[in-house]
Amino acid sequence: MSEDMKPIASEVENNVEQPVVTNPEAVAAPVEEIIDYSNKGLKELVDLFQELLDKGDVQQLYKYAEGIKAAFYKTLKKEKIAAGFQPVETAVAQQAAEAAEEAETEAAAPEAEAQQESEDVSVNPFAEIERGFKDLYGQYKTVRGKYVQELNQKKEENYETKCRIIDELKVLVDNPGDLGTAYPAFRELQNRWRAAGAVPPTKAKDLYETYSHYVEAFYDYVKINRELRDLDFKKNLEAKEKLCERAEALAESDNAVAAFREIQKLHDEWKEYGPVDKEHRESIWERFKAATSVVNKKHQAYFESQKGNQQQNLEAKAALCEKVEEIEEREVKDSNTWNALSKEIENIQKEWRTIGFASKKDNQKIYERFRAACDKFYAAKREFYNGFKDQMQENMEKKIALCEQAEAVANSTEWKKTSDLLINLQKQWKEIGPVSRKKSEQIWKRFRAACDAFFESRDKHFSDQDSQYDDNLAAKNALIEEINAYELAGTDADKEALSDFQARWNEIGFVPLKVKANVQSAYNKAISDKFGSAAEPSDRVSRFRKRYGEQHAKSYSKTPSEKDRLIQKFLKMEQDIATWENNMGFFAKSKNAESLLAELSSKIEVAKQELADLEQKIKSLDEKENGQENG
């Protein structure tokens, strides 16, 4: 065989037309671009997953699904811990739980999963969003499984197609026939081979070796003339020039990771084309290799720069760990401080999410340190609030007892006694500590309702009484005018009229306290002016007579004695006490009147004690006078 008729397949093997790659493993397993989802919330991650599902791009789904899933469960765990729903776990247990998550999603029985979700929802507000994410992930697994199944089926079909092509190629090699017919048929088989697509990896090597064998056999047995060979070289050169252009465009790309991944695909395509003529063989390969080298260097530089950033990220995260560790070592004894520190921890966690990844060997370790410090803080907080909850429950029981006491007297008509009792209950209420926030308003409304029911009834009672007092005042004023208008007859009829006026006056009820003295004085004056000495003593003098005897009344009507002065002081103090007690009823309706009510209550107690002392003195004088008379 002449040099000009050298088989194309042999030229492919002899020419070093292979990708220049510094790391052979990188070609076999291209490095995927790392996307940081740590700054996204749970809803954002769910929405992103849903958007990928809706687009229906299975390759894109496969590319990002696991990253989104990992970010979701890490974020979910953090938020559960922050909200107090996630029990404290060791780092090892947490890793095991995360590793088992996918197995649980796919293998758990539907009934068990439904039961678990039902229980979670009842105690955990994060259960619903987690369930929604699991549903989306289940859809993805279904779509992915179907896609892989179809892809594997397609690869098997491609394998069968290429086997048939090899069979046709074998027939062509065995019976080349006319060269003008055989060569186009051979090129057609090559085109069909390239278009057939990938085959199962386990069968690819043997299949390709068989194909190469018959391609070489074709060139061995069929002498291609120079024109056809040059035409073949020309077509191969054109194809490889286009590959060079695409490689050079990738060399200009700013996305080093994506460019590196694409350059591997171009190398695979390069191997699919046959050789070019000797004149261009080295130059075209050098051109392609130069573009490849640029992409490789950018890719290497990118990861070198990432190492520097990762070290900075590690240092920044270590500083945040130290902050949390310092906080969780503090001794906290009140709720306000816990809330302030929790807010500080939340801000640190937000800052953590803004920092990128550390190196692969350090990233997990620094995260476990950070999580352990946060867990320790929230565990201490839960322990504090567990004791705090017991205290709030005790406070709740005390307030329920006060409610029951208030409700027991809500319908009472013992206005003074019940007012004092409710005011005392209100003081006790203020001295009791807080209860849980969700029950605080409810128990306060219950207590307030019982107090309001009594005070509204009391106010209505005194309001009706005040109306009656006004009517009585009008009646007494009318009677005074009638007395002043009476014409004396100078007979026994005057005595009858006087008795009638006095009887009618006594039948009329109470008048408002503030005008009581004035109207009584006006009545006494009218009786005295009209009937003179014939008039009986006033009502107050009558009460003196009934209480202390006729002699006391006569003495009072003349020159006041020591006992008379004590009696006057006694009656004045009784009137003051009545006024104060009446005022307390009105003050109880106003807000923030506790201090004034307390002051009045104290004055009343002092006055009652003084009243008792006066009464004792008056009795002593009575006994002394009685002793003198008997002696």
Tens of pLDDT, residues 231-257: 888 888 889 889 899 998 988 888 888
What is the mean pLDDT of the segment spanning 456-480? 78
Q: Same domain, yes or no, for 96 and 192?
A: yes
Q: Is residue 409 assigned to a domain? A: no
* pLDDT value at residue 109: 39
* Window from 4-18, 57-71, 108-122, 289-303 with minimum mean pLDDT: 4-18
Tens of pLDDT, residues 153-202: 888 889 989 999 999 888 888 877 776 787 788 888 889 998 888 889 88
- 204 CB-near residues (< 8 Å, 6+ apart): 198
Joined tokens for residue 186 = 């051979």
Q: Same domain, yes or no, for 558 and 482?
A: yes
Q: Is the pLDDT of residue 504 over 90?
A: no
What does pTM read for this prediction?
A: 0.31
**Residue 547 and residue 200: Cα distance in Å, rounded?**
123
Q: Which of these, 564, 575, 558, lies nearest to 621 by C-alpha position?
A: 564
Q: Same domain, yes or no, for 73 and 105?
A: yes
- 580 CB-near residues (< 8 Å, 6+ apart): 600, 603, 604, 607
Q: Same domain, yes or no, for 215 and 270?
A: no
Q: Is residue 321 assigned to a domain? A: yes
Q: Same domain, yes or no, for 128 and 202?
A: yes
Q: Is residue 296 assigned to a domain? A: yes
Q: Same domain, yes or no, for 18 and 132?
A: no
**Residue 358 and residue 31: Cα distance in Å, rounded?**
17
Counting the structural domains of the chain, the total is 3
Q: Is residue 55 assigned to a domain? A: yes
Q: Is residue 99 assigned to a domain? A: yes
Q: Same domain, yes or no, for 72 and 93?
A: yes
Question: Contact, 585 vs 540, CB < 8 A?
Answer: no
Q: Does an H or E element contain 150, and which?
A: helix 127-174
Q: Which of these, 79, 66, 61, lies nearest to 37 by C-alpha position?
A: 66
* pLDDT value at residue 614: 83
Question: Contact, 429 vs 406, CB < 8 A?
Answer: no
Q: Is the pLDDT of residue 22 over 90?
A: no
Q: Is the pLDDT of residue 315 over 60?
A: yes
Domain edge (last residue) among 368, 386, 404: 386
* pLDDT value at residue 552: 44
For the chain, what's the residue count? Answer: 631
Q: Is residue 542 assigned to a domain? A: yes
- Token pair 């054109």 is found at 238
Domain edge (last residue) among 176, 209, 224: 224
Tens of pLDDT, residues 554-592: 444 445 677 777 887 888 787 777 777 666 655 554 555
The domain containing residue 493 runs over which residues? 441-630
Distances (CA, A) of 19 to 22, 252, 541: 10, 18, 130
Domain edge (last residue) among 174, 208, 224: 224
Q: Same domain, yes or no, for 348 and 373?
A: yes
Q: Same domain, yes or no, for 198 and 310?
A: no
Residue 170 exposure: Cα atoms within 13 Å on the Cβ side? 8
What φ, ψ does residue 523 adopt, rounded to 5°? -65, -50
Q: Is residue 514 assigned to a domain? A: yes
Q: Same domain, yes or no, for 445 and 569?
A: yes
Q: Same domain, yes or no, for 468 and 558?
A: yes
Residue 1 exposure: Cα atoms within 13 Å on the Cβ side? 14
**Angle CA(374)–CA(375)–CA(379) in degrees, nearest 5?**
120
> Strands, DSSP E only, in 193-278?
none
Q: Is residue 150 assigned to a domain? A: yes
- Alpha helices (H) in 486-593, listed in sequence order: 492-507, 513-531, 539-548, 550-557, 562-587
Q: Is the pLDDT of residue 413 over 80?
A: yes
* pLDDT value at residue 293: 92
Joined tokens for residue 91 = 């780092």
**Residue 117 and residue 114: Cα distance in Å, rounded?**
5
**Residue 537 and residue 371: Cα distance in Å, rounded?**
94
Q: Same domain, yes or no, for 578 and 622?
A: yes
One-letter amino acid of 573 = M
